[in-house]
């Protein structure tokens, strides 16, 4: 009988699974016959057939019946299957505690599959209090064998050591466990690539990282395909190849990998490995953004803001930038601040602008810190506070922001919110000047001028003129330097040089006004530039006047610039004062020139006519002696008036207008504008990408064994 049992078992397990219905039934009957003889393996096999439904229809109750018969004989696989049925609620009421009991019975036989599942239960806190340290004990037991379950256990141990779960974080041990698991588990190959990529537990080696990424990618690991694309994109461990990078991004993107979709959008945006196509870029950005990818949301907002690949739409830009900003994307937070500051796509709201600037500034965004300094300086959205303005300027300046360095220098020069200190002011002006800030270089020269170091001051002013850049700040800075040079001891008195410098300043300021209007600069910035232009015209007026050259066109231009200044800032008291001054001279021109010419011209004309009439009457009729006398008198009076008054009229003294010397230390108020995200390729290998999940979720899917 024992021999017959063995023969039956061999027959059942060695023949292939039947194909048609009659053969399947015959196979099932034979298997039942063997199982009814108490052969545990046949009982387990029969339970498996009923649970999987690959020979007969699903019947969990019969599956459980046969599993229990096998389990009562100590069959570890059957015990494990019963545990899975209770864990998943398959044909029975879900019960983690009962599942754990059956797993424990199987684990007692040394079965690594059950040991693995017990580790899962402790790790997830199912049927027992959550305890990673106990989970590690069970995973270690399972990992010591050589089977697919051991591979899963080895992989999970690698994840737990890499993340410090239940054990002290140890990348070296994580690397060892991933290496053991790599033979069977594709995700372990991927994680080995990550460890070589980041140099965790091993010496950083991009070539080996690429090797492991390739092995994992060939097994269909999507993150490996993405990271391999990054390696080809950046030329790490391989020759840079944008076409291969694009192919790999595409494979991962088509499988729903959000970062791959974002990077693929970048490839189309920059035309790397593919023909540049903003529409395609928008398409992939949108797919990634809809998955919640923060960088994609920010980039999508940028494209709507600038109208690239889509019609410009500030509303859409606000929508996507808000989503990105709420996820902490610093550029989106800054750009939202700009949009609320300028009222683009939203109602202008300085308080919200300040809130978003603050969030970005706290993450170290230099332009946000600079703009936040502006908000405190001018009291926009917050109470005016020069000390706070100086604080934020300092933080931006320390990150190399040239305008912040200039403004900080200005505040130390003027003692606004900080102690007055020309030496510290020069330090910040010099840093800004090194970055090409003409304004800072000019003010540096002004301080030297006040110290009577005229030679050095002149050198700095000329240096400011040589600095490149056509930004509003630089153009106004060059104009300031030109105006400052007119007071230089090396130029003063040279009418041609002074006039040239004033004309040069006017040209710089006119260009600055043009750019400021195009960029929709704040009204206060436009007002200040117009005021400086008016002063430049007045300077030219004074220079010409010093040589008795009266050019009312220059005065009229100055008058016009001051009026423009008041148009943009109606409380600009300096412009009001200057406007009154120019008005007085222009009115004097009418009274001192136009009126006298009309009066004396009229008298002269009348007397001349009388004289002609008297001469005519006398010569023709030889009578009317009184008329003759009158003609002589009228002619004499006219000649006397012309001789005496004409030189006085032609030399009417027009006073010059002296305003304060241009110190050019007023606030640089050029708002840093919304920016386009241009940084490519967010490599998807942060700490969290070291996979700490099982390849299959044991709760939702049975492991195959």
Q: Which of 181, 207, 212 is nearest to 194 (CA)?
A: 212
Q: Is the pLDDT of residue 155 over 50?
A: yes
Classify burial at 613, counting beta carbons within 10 Å of its beta carbon; exposed 0-12, middle 13-18, buried 19 or more: middle
Residues 676-686 have pLDDT tens digits of 543 333 333 32
* Weakest mean pLDDT among 71-80, 99-108, 277-286, 680-689: 680-689
Q: Are 378 and 384 in contact (CB under 8 A)?
A: yes
Q: Which residue has the higher pLDDT, 88 or 661?
A: 88
Q: Are 500 and 462 in contact (CB under 8 A)?
A: no
- H helices then E strands: how many in the chain? 33, 0
Q: Which of 468, 411, 458 is nearest to 435 (CA)?
A: 468
Residue-level pLDDT at 688: 27
Residue-level pLDDT at 100: 94
Average pLDDT, the chain: 81
What is the pLDDT averaged over residues 263-280? 93
Q: 664: pLDDT confidence band, cut at 50, 70 and 90? A: very low
What is the pLDDT averaged over residues 196-223? 95
Q: Is the pLDDT of residue 549 over 90?
A: no
Per-residue DSSP letter, 480: H
Torsion over CA: 658, 420, 397, 335 (sign):
negative
Q: Which residue has the higher pLDDT, 269 or 565?
A: 269
CA atoms of 231 and 193, how far apart (whole Å): 11
Q: Is the pLDDT of residue 597 over 50?
A: yes
CA atoms of 136 and 119, how far apart (whole Å): 7
Phi, psi angles (nearest 5°) of residue 221:
-75, 115
Q: Is the pLDDT of residue 259 over 90?
A: yes
CA atoms of 388 and 376, how far apart (whole Å): 6
Q: 543: pLDDT confidence band, cut at 50, 70 and 90? A: confident
Residue-level pLDDT at 519: 73
What is the pLDDT averaged over residues 47-57? 83
Instruction: Write out the two tokens for 190.
Output: 């991927």
Q: Is the pLDDT of residue 294 over 80?
A: yes
Q: Are 202 and 173 in contact (CB under 8 A)?
A: no
Residue-level pLDDT at 694: 26
Q: 610: pLDDT confidence band, cut at 50, 70 and 90? A: low
Residues 434-476 have pLDDT tens digits of 998 888 888 888 888 888 888 888 888 888 788 767 777 778 7
Instruction: Write out the two tokens for 447.
Output: 């301080």
Residue-level pLDDT at 620: 53
Q: Is the pLDDT of residue 659 over 70?
A: no
* Weakest mean pLDDT among 38-42, 329-333, 342-346, 625-629: 625-629
Residue-level pLDDT at 596: 59
CA atoms of 92 and 132, how far apart (whole Å): 28
Q: 5: pLDDT confidence band, cut at 50, 70 and 90? A: very low
Q: Are 419 and 397 in contact (CB under 8 A)?
A: no
Instruction: Write out the two tokens for 471.
Output: 């930004």
What is the pLDDT averaged over residues 362-377? 94
CA atoms of 404 and 392, how far apart (whole Å): 8
Q: Which of 355, 328, 323, 358 is nearest to 340 (CA)?
A: 355
The widest CA-to-CA distance across the chain, in whole angstroms, is 179
What is the pLDDT averaged over residues 148-169? 93
Classify burial at 203, counting beta carbons within 10 Å of its beta carbon; exposed 0-12, middle 13-18, buried 19 or more: exposed
What is the pLDDT averaged over residues 594-605? 60
Residue-level pLDDT at 690: 37
Domains along the sequence of the chain with CATH:
329-410 (1.25.40.10)
Q: Is the pLDDT of residue 698 over 60?
A: no
Residue-level pLDDT at 673: 60
Q: Which residue has the higher pLDDT, 584 or 63?
A: 63
Torsion over CA: 24, 25, 30, 31 (sign):
positive
Residue-level pLDDT at 528: 80
CA atoms of 41 and 684, how far apart (whole Å): 46
Q: 499: pLDDT confidence band, cut at 50, 70 and 90? A: confident
Beta strand residue intervals within 22-99, DSSP E: none
What is the pLDDT averaged over residues 122-146? 93
Residue-level pLDDT at 242: 95
What is the pLDDT averaged over residues 514-536? 79
Residue-level pLDDT at 10: 41
What is the pLDDT averaged over residues 29-57? 86
Most confident of 361-375, 491-505, 639-653: 361-375
Residue 185, Ramachandran bin (φ over 0: left; ψ between -120 and 50: alpha; else beta): beta
Burial 454-487 (b: 16+ CB within 10 A, else e): eeebbebbbbbbebeeebbbbbbbbbbbbbbbbb
The DSSP result for 584-606, as a single string, is HHHHHHIIIIIHHHHHHHHHHHH
Classify burial at 492, counting beta carbons within 10 Å of its beta carbon; exposed 0-12, middle 13-18, buried 19 or more: exposed
CA atoms of 149 and 115, how far apart (whole Å): 9
Q: 490: pLDDT confidence band, cut at 50, 70 and 90? A: low
The DSSP result for 165-194, as a single string, is SSS---HHHHHHHHHHHTTT-HHHHHHHHH
Q: 8: pLDDT confidence band, cut at 50, 70 and 90? A: very low
Residue-level pLDDT at 654: 47
* Weakest mean pLDDT among 208-222, 302-316, 552-566: 552-566
* Weakest mean pLDDT among 173-182, 339-348, 408-417, 653-662: 653-662
Q: 412: pLDDT confidence band, cut at 50, 70 and 90? A: very high
Q: Are 270 and 276 in contact (CB under 8 A)?
A: yes
Instruction: Name the helix (H) or strand (E) containing 82.
Output: helix 76-88
Q: Which residue has the higher pLDDT, 661 or 169?
A: 169
Q: Which residue has the higher pLDDT, 406 or 5?
A: 406
What is the pLDDT averaged over residues 625-650? 60
What percentage of the chain carries pLDDT values higher than 90?
51
Q: Is the pLDDT of residue 593 over 60?
A: no
Residue-level pLDDT at 462: 82
What is the pLDDT averaged over residues 421-442? 91
Q: Are 269 and 281 in contact (CB under 8 A)?
A: yes
Q: Which of 417, 415, 420, 412 is nearest to 440 (CA)?
A: 412
Residue-level pLDDT at 689: 34
What is the pLDDT averaged over residues 144-165? 91
């Amino acid at each position: 009988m024992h021999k017959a049992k063995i023969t039956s078992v061999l027959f059942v397990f060695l023949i292939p699974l039947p194909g048609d219905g009659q053969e399947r039934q015959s196979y099932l009957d034979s298997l039942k016959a063997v199982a009814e003889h108490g052969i545990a393996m046949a009982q387990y096999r029969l339970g498996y057939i009923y649970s999987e439904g690959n020979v007969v229809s699903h019947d969990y109750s019969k599956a459980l019946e046969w599993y229990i018969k096998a389990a009562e004989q100590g069959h570890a696989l059957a015990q494990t299957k019963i545990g899975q049925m209770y864990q998943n609620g398959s044909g029975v009421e879900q019960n983690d505690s009962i599942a754990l009991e059956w797993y424990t019975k199987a684990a007692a036989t040394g079965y690594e599959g059950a040991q693995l599942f017990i580790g899962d239960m402790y790790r997830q806190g199912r049927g027992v209090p959550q305890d990673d340290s106990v989970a590690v004990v069970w995973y270690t037991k399972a990992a010591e064998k050589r089977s697919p379950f051991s591979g899963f256990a080895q992989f999970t141990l690698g994840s737990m050591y890499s993340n410090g779960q239940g054990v002290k974080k140890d990348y070296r041990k994580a690397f060892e466990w991933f290496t053991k698991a790599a033979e069977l588990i594709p995700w372990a190959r991927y994680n080995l690539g990550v460890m070589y990529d980041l140099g965790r537990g091993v010496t950083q080696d991009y070539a080996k990282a690429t090797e492991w990424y390739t092995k994992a990618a060939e097994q269909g690991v999507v993150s490996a395909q993405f990271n391999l694309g990054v390696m080809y994109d950046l030329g790490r461990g391989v020759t840079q190849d944008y076409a291969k990078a694009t192919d790999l991004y595409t494979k991962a993107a088509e499988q729903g990998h959000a970062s791959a979709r974002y990077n693929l959008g970048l490839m189309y945006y920059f035309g790397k490995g593919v023909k540049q196509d903003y529409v395609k870029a928008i398409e992939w950005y949108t797919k990634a953004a809809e998955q919640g990818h923060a960088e994609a949301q920010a980039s999508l907002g940028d494209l709507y803001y600038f109208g690239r690949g889509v019609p410009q739409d500030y509303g859409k830009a606000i929508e996507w930038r808000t989503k990105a900003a709420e996820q902490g994307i610093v550029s989106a937070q800054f750009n939202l601040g700009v949009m609320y500051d300028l009222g683009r796509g939203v109602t202008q709201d300085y308080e919200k602008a300040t809130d978003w600037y603050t969030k970005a500034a706290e993450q170290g965004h230099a332009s946000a810190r600079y703009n936040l300094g502006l908000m405190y300086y001018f009291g926009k959205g917050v109470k005016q506070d020069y000390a706070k303005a100086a604080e934020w300027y300092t933080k931006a300046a320390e990150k190399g922001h040239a305008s912040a360095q200039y403004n900080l220098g200005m505040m130390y020069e003027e003692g606004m919110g900080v102690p007055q200190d020309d030496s510290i002011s020069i330090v910040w002006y010099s840093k800004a000047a090194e970055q090409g800030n003409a304004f800072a270089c000019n003010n540096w020269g002004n301080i030297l001028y006040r110290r009577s170091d005229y030679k050095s001051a002149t050198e700095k002013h000329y240096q400011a003129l040589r600095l490149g850049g056509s930004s509003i700040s630089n153009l106004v800075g060059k104009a300031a330097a030109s105006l400052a040079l007119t007071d230089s001891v090396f130029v003063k008195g040279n009418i041609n040089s002074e006039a040239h410098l004033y004309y040069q300043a006017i040209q710089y300021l006119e260009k600055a006004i043009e750019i400021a209007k195009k960029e929709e600069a704040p009204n206060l910035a436009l007002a200040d530039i117009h005021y400086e232009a008016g002063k430049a015209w007045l300077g030219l007026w004074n220079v010409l006047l010093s040589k008795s050259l009266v050019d009312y066109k220059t005065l009229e231009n100055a008058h016009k610039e001051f009026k423009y200044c008041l148009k943009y800032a109606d409380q600009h008291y300096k412009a009001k004062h200057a406007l009154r001054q120019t008005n007085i001279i222009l009115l004097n021109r009418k009274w001192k020139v136009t009126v006298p010419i009309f009066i004396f011209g009229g008298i002269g004309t009348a007397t001349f006519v009388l004289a002609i009439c008297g001469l005519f009457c006398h010569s023709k009729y030889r009578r009317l002696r009184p008329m003759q006398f009158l003609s002589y008198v009228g002619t004499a009076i006219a000649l006397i008036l012309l001789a005496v008054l004409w030189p006085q009229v032609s030399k009417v003294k027009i006073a010059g207008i002296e305003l304060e010397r241009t110190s050019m230390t007023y606030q640089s108020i050029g708002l840093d504008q919304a920016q386009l995200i241009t940084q490519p390729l967010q490599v998807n290998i942060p700490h969290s990408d070291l996979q700490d999940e099982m390849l299959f979720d044991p709760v939702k899917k049975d492991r195959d064994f």
